[in-house]
Copies of this chain bind each other. A is one copy, B any other.
């Protein structure tokens, strides 16, 4: 049964194809769009196309950017001898938002996942090892605290160790403001293992 006109159904379908957007939300968004001024819709559509055309990977750290070298890598005031390894540009943005990290990044573009068939060759490990040829003092592994992230961290650790470069892993434990009562056992044990002296 055709509930909406063809064009409307097509637009709803497009929105529904986005991750985390269900049929109901897609309807709401599609109706919002057709009720917006034409110029507004044109800008949105053009931005989408332009972003897709222009976004590429930084030649240094492989984050998503619209320049050849991203602003962080191009910034000479940042500490280029400290590299934080993250899975995605969004993870990088999360650390950037803290405003406290002064080093540079390396974006792997994923994590090793035997389940999903992602091997070490599918993420930017080779490129990281290449960067270690330069003047690097520390590699901070900030992959996610998931099975895949941990696997990748372990793999990276083994890979970097022979080079003699300091290699650290961000701490895993009870999040700030977290109530022990609601924290899972694995995290609690991790927090215990990682306890530091006061």
Contact = CB atoms under 8 A, between A and B. Distances in A.
Given A3-B96, A28-B20, A99-B1, A44 B54 contact: no
A181 interface: no
A25 B15 CA distance: 13
Contact of A66 (B1, B5, B29): B5
A47 interface: yes
Secondary structure of the A contact surface, majority rule: helix
Q: Which of A3, A27, A65, A99 gathers the greatest number of chain B CB atoms within 10 Å?
A: A3
B32 A41 contact: no
A108 to B, nearest CB: 15
A31 B89 contact: yes
Interface of A: 1-8, 10-11, 14, 17-21, 25, 27-34, 36, 38, 41-55, 64-67, 70-71, 88-90, 93, 96-97, 99
